[in-house]
Structure formats: C-alpha cells, structure tokens
Amino acid sequence: MIYDIAIIGAGCAGLSLAYQISKTNQNKKIIILDSKSKFQNDRTWSFWKTNDHDFEDCLEKQWSNFEVKNKEQIKIFNQTKYPYQTINSLKFYEKIKNNLNEKFNLKLGFRIQDIQKTSEIFQFKNSNEVIESKLVFDSRVPEIKMGNLYQHFYGLTIETNQNAFDENKLTLMDFKQKEQGVHFFYILPFKSNRALIETTWLSKLNELNKEKYVDELHQYIKNDLGINQFNIIHEEIGAIPMFRRSSKNETGYVDIGIRGNINRMSTGYAFPYIQAHSKIIANALDQLSFKRPISAKYEFLDQLFVKVLKNHTDQMPDIFFKLFDQNNQESVIRFLSSEGIWLDDMKIVSKMPKLLFLKNLFN
C-alpha cells in the first residue's frame, strides 16, 4: 500500500497534525510512525491561554497567579484573563489516539533506518519492512548541535509529606546568577504537596549533564524551598533550540514541530504554535507550502533578543525582570504569546535598555 501521508513521530507535533487532519474528514490514507512502544506521561507542555484550543480536557492544572524572582526582589502577578496552563501529555496522547478514525494507521515500534525517495514516493525502511508514502511530515526531535544556544532543562515532579507549595501560584522564574549563562528555577505546583520543579539554563550547550542538573535541583529544593524529604514521581530532561535550524527542503517532505522551527526562540514556547501550524496544514493539504504561525515581527524581535542574550548574558536576569511589568501584565503575556498589538509591543520595548538593544541591532 502507498499511503497519501506519512507522519513521522507520535509526539506533540505529529499527533496534533493527525488530530487536525481527522477533524477535516479528508479521504486520505495516513500512517503515523514512531519508534516508541507505548505512550506515557513523558513531557510537560505549558503556555498562557490567549486563544481557545482543543485540549482543555487534557489539562494537568491552570493558574491565574504567578511570580518572578531576581536576587531579593519578587514580582507577583494576579490575573485571570490569560491563565497559565499545563497539559498532561498522557491525556493528550490518549485523547488523540482514541479520536483517530479508520483512515489512520498508528504504527509504534517502527525504528526508521533509512529514508529514500523514488520518483514521487518516499520509502521508510527498518530491518524488515518498507513503508511508502506520497507526502511526509517529519516531527522527530532534531539532534542537538553542541556549542549552540539552547534553553536546556531538567525537571522533577515530586511529592512531599507536608504542604510545601502554594498550589494557586506558580514560580515562572527564580533567577540564580551564573557566569556561563542565564540560570533560573521554575515551579509548577499541582497540589500543596506536589509540584514540578525545573532547573533551566539559557546558554551554549556542550553536554546534557544529568548529574549536574540533579545536583542543582536537589540543592535548590533543600536550601531554597526547605524541603528535605520527598518522593520523585517523574523526571524529564530536554533542550529547546534558541536558533533556527535549516529544515529539509524537498518537495513533499515537510518538517514540523521543533524540527520545523515551530517555537518562539526567546521563550521556548511551542504548544500553541504547533496547534496553529497543524490547523494551517490540515486546511491546505493539497498545497506543498504552508505559512508559519509565528509572524516576521516576532521572528525579528526574537533574533535581536537572542543576540543581546549571547553578548550580555550577565544583564539578562535584570532585563527579564524588567520585562515583567505588573502594570502591563496582560500586554506582557500577549507579547510573549505572539498575540500583541502594536501598543503591547511598544509597552514592552519601552522597558528594555534601549542603547543596549540598538547597539546589538546594528552590530
């Protein structure tokens, strides 16, 4: 059988695209390929809800209050218009798997060893099988390019035997100044005794050193949060590129998700953009060119922001702290979510050190 569409990767981007295609009721034969053998709660996707989406029933939790910390300063934000939401990845996977119709063939445990193109057909080969398709969407996580700028992190979901967290308020950034990069901790309190805590770096990545991250996180949990005993429920480690990688440029072969640069470089947020991109593709499947969900304006601002981060790492915690203005909190959220109008953008830009950004703009 020759499939009309092959989706490589049954993760966020691949399954989101499958879900949106299934909603359009198009008469196409589709296969989804992934090397994993089963679905599990292996990721955390968080974002501000500035638009409606299809996965409210997959939420782990949402918050209306958050805080940002830098040195001895704290800013607390109380707002309800744009809640901060976290998706439970297993609920997400199961929802989509259960909503796919008979046109979809979900094939787990398929480890691709080779991809070839013959005439107008792409062939995917493993040790004992060949699968063919006319159109390909590739969502596999790209290989890390060491020495490049990444947002890299390690997180633990823990449970304590005491009420250690304010479950109604998340910690978006708790900065800890380091010479070699921007470093902060991030806390999502799911219950008063259960939270995801991450150590996060914005820096050149030379290795994903789990031992180093573990030590940082345990020291923070003990010394900053005052928690001495806890049970580990789940862990995750990853790296999100803060640069644009070159995508595969071949007719009929489209990179999606992080592989296709569908994330904000400055923030790492990807889930809302993946949903928007999936809808764009599903509604224009007969076209071989699909517009991007992130505007040129925000691409330009992100490029400039990343340049400042590279050249003036020591100043970035203060710049981030200024960015989060309590008097313009809705503007900040719209800006970070790529939903800002020109007035939002002007409010944010006015908070930045203008001479520093201008210097980097023209250098």
The pLDDT score that the predictor gives to residue 278 is 97
Q: Tell whether the model's pLDDT for residue 233 goes beyond 70.
A: yes
Q: Which are the contacts of 39, defined by CB distance < 8 A and separation ≥ 6?
A: 10, 90, 93, 94, 97
Report yes or no: 184 and 170 within 8 Å, Cβ to Cβ.
no
- From residue 128, alpha-carbon distances to 32, 79, 111, 123, 125 in Å are 18, 55, 10, 13, 8
Span 149-241: which CATH code? 3.30.9.10
| Residue count of the chain | 363
Question: What is the pTM (predicted TM-score) of this model?
Answer: 0.95
pLDDT (tens digit per residue) in 269-284 = 999 999 999 999 999 9
Report yes or no: 133 and 3 within 8 Å, Cβ to Cβ.
yes
Round to whole Å and give the CA distance between 190 and 336: 23
The pLDDT score that the predictor gives to residue 355 is 86
Round to whole Å and give the CA distance between 360 and 345: 19
- Domain ranges in the chain with CATH number 3.50.50.60: 2-62+89-142+245-282
Q: Tell whether the model's pLDDT for residue 222 goes beyond 80.
A: yes
pLDDT (tens digit per residue) in 321-356 = 999 988 889 999 999 999 999 999 888 888 888 888
The pLDDT score that the predictor gives to residue 209 is 87
pLDDT (tens digit per residue) in 4-41 = 999 999 999 999 999 999 998 778 999 999 999 999 99
Where does the pLDDT of residue 80 fall: very low under 50, low under 70, confident under 90, or very high at 90 and above?
confident
Q: What is the CA radius of gyration of the chain?
A: 21
The pLDDT score that the predictor gives to residue 120 is 85
Q: Tell whether the model's pLDDT for residue 179 goes beyond 70.
A: no
| Domain covering 2-62+89-142+245-282, topology | FAD/NAD(P)-binding domain (3.50.50)
- Domain ranges in the chain with CATH number 3.30.9.10: 149-241
Range 168-196 average pLDDT? 93
